[in-house]
Amino acid sequence: MSEGLLCECRMPLIWRKAALDEATRQAMMREAALLLAAINQMESGHEIEAAGAENRRLDRLEAKLDLALHLLARALEPAAAVAPRPVNLSAEGAEWQDRDPPAEGVSVILEIRPSEALPLNLNLIAEALAPGENLARVRFTGLSEELNDALVQFVFRRHRQAIRARSG
């Protein structure tokens, strides 16, 4: 995880071992891409872009509507209460402090809550890397192009926000 762009976030995180069939894997990636795209659209609302302002507003509105429908569908599914913790997140993987990290090579589902404002967890499929002392490390596997693009945008924006916070 030392190469590439990463963001240091505080967010709820849990992991569990995974053995998924292809249909479940694809559905999980579609849901994750939808959630990240909506978060990216909503959080980038204050950023000025060269593209037409009206198109940006419509894109944000569409993302919010998509997310609202998704939230409605998941409303009856309660989210587990997990305390936020520091997570180093990149488009390639993640690492976090963990007393019992997954063993190297184990397939896992990493469940994080990327936005405090939204009551949804993002599930990412990963493979555990060699753990450090009380340090879990994973590499995301089999991400769709859409999910990878949304994850890159999310990490880049959070990294940029951290730089602005430190210099301002």
Per-residue pLDDT of the chain (168 residues; tens, 9 = 90+): 546 789 999 999 999 998 889 999 999 999 999 889 888 877 776 554 545 667 777 777 777 777 776 677 566 555 556 789 999 999 999 999 999 999 999 999 999 988 876 777 899 999 999 999 999 999 999 899 999 999 999 999 999 888 888 886
Reading the block at residue 106, the tokens are 């184990």
Q: Strands (DSSP E) along the chain, which ranges? A: 6-17, 84-90, 93-97, 107-112, 122-128, 135-140
Query: So what's the pLDDT on residue 88?
Result: 96
**Smallest Cα–Cα separation from 114: which of 25, 39, 27, 37?**
39
Identify the sign of the CA torsion 147, 51, 89, 2. positive
pTM over 0.85: no
Total domain count, the chain: 1
In a domain, 1, yes or no: no
In a domain, 59, yes or no: yes
Give the CA-trace dihedral at 125, 73, 57, 164, to 10 degrees: -40
Domain range for 154 is: 6-167
CB 130 within 8 A of CB 104: yes
Residue-level length of the chain: 168
